[in-house]
Structure 1
Amino acid sequence: MANDYSLDRIDRKILRHLQDEARLTNQALASRIALSPSACLARVRRLEALGIIQGYHARLDPFCVDVGLVLFVEITLEGRAPDEQARFEGVLSATPEIVEASHVSGRIDYLLKIVVRNMQHWTELREALVGGDYGVGSVTTHVLMDKPKVFKGYPVAERHADR
């Protein structure tokens, strides 16, 4: 994906530090990257306005907050026309159990992360997805057993090798 902005080494430092510890105060962040607090805040706000920083979240252990089952679900649509994708994507935001969705390449169309109370809850949700007018052709379910590595952020290099 092409972008309209370039990240310099200071922007990249800011991103690395915020991914490691998003609760850093502006003062602490500025100190770590050797900028004045006002210059640092201006850069962070610019990164937010550009959509590079998309939010700040607490990462929770799903097993400690009783979400039940965490599933990774492969979805293949019956067709691949833009209106069929839009129809399916409409159900994504309307379904709170679908906590993450990615449109992917390959033999499947979407990879979803879903949380449900139990297997009966998943059975009902799956039947609604397949039986609804969403164009779902097939569903393959994988149950999360353990998380030996959790997502902590994207690797933000000093700069890309192709630049």
Structure 2
Amino acid sequence: MAADYVLDRIDRRILAALQADGRLTNHALSEQVSLSPSACLARVRRLERSGVIRGYHARVDPFALDVGLVLYAEVTLKGHSPDELGRFERLVQDLPAVVEASHMTGDYDYLLKVVVADMAEWTRLAERMTEIGVDRINTHVMMNKPKFFVGYPVEIK
């Protein structure tokens, strides 16, 4: 549904402002985008209903939560039927350690971002994945994060 929604200049300003600070009050947001508070709130609610705004989140340092390892896993499945893809996607949905998953083009099928206490926990998790049709997993352990995701670029036209 979000792909069908046409964003105008004010919508884009709202999105840029909320990505910079998702805790903005409606009043502060309305001042930033030069709308009345009621008009601003109506636009934000419409952006939420249409799926353009998918939620509001706090950016948390994973290591403050006693996460031992943050890693990225390139996952290649044995088969690529809709049933096999669906089975894998249901598995990753049910695994709290998998914090992001993307279906990819190229040399592997999925890119997962995973947080685990240690390598032993990751090994158990990877073994569980191989039981449901994973052919290969190529793992990259995060050493440092010089740039954090803070939002998508919003071109204000």
| TM-score normalized with structure 2 length | 0.97
Separation (CA, whole Å) in 1 of partners of 2:90 and 2:133: 11
Q: Letter of the aligned partner of 1:136 in structure 2?
A: V
Separation (CA, whole Å) in 2 of partners of 1:90 and 1:43: 34
Separation (CA, whole Å) in 1 of partners of 2:3 and 2:59: 28
What residue number does 1:62 align with? Answer: 62
User: 1:19 Cα deviation (Å)?
Assistant: 0.1
User: 1:8 Cα deviation (Å)?
Assistant: 0.1
What residue number does 1:12 align with? Answer: 12
Number of residues of Structure 1 aligned to a counterpart in Structure 2: 157
Of 135, 149, 160, the residue aligned with 2:147 is 149
User: 1:71 Cα deviation (Å)?
Assistant: 0.7
Separation (CA, whole Å) in 1 of partners of 2:62 and 2:78: 32
3-state SS of paired residue (1:157): coil
What residue number does 1:108 align with? Answer: 108
Separation (CA, whole Å) in 2 of partners of 1:15 and 1:28: 14
What residue number does 1:139 align with? Answer: 137
User: 1:5 Cα deviation (Å)?
Assistant: 1.5
Gaps of 5+ in 2: none
Q: Letter of the aligned partner of 1:141 in structure 2?
A: T
What residue number does 2:45 align with? Answer: 45
Question: Do residues 85 (structure 1) and 85 (structure 2) align?
Answer: yes
User: 1:57 Cα deviation (Å)?
Assistant: 0.4
What residue number does 1:22 align with? Answer: 22
User: 1:63 Cα deviation (Å)?
Assistant: 1.7
Separation (CA, whole Å) in 2 of partners of 1:126 and 1:84: 17
Q: Letter of the aligned partner of 2:129 in structure 1?
A: L
Runs of 4+ in 1 over 6 A off after TM superposition: none
Separation (CA, whole Å) in 2 of partners of 1:36 and 1:138: 54
3-state SS of paired residue (2:31): helix
Identity %: 59
User: 1:3 Cα deviation (Å)?
Assistant: 2.2
Separation (CA, whole Å) in 1 of partners of 2:66 and 2:124: 19
What residue number does 2:121 align with? Answer: 121
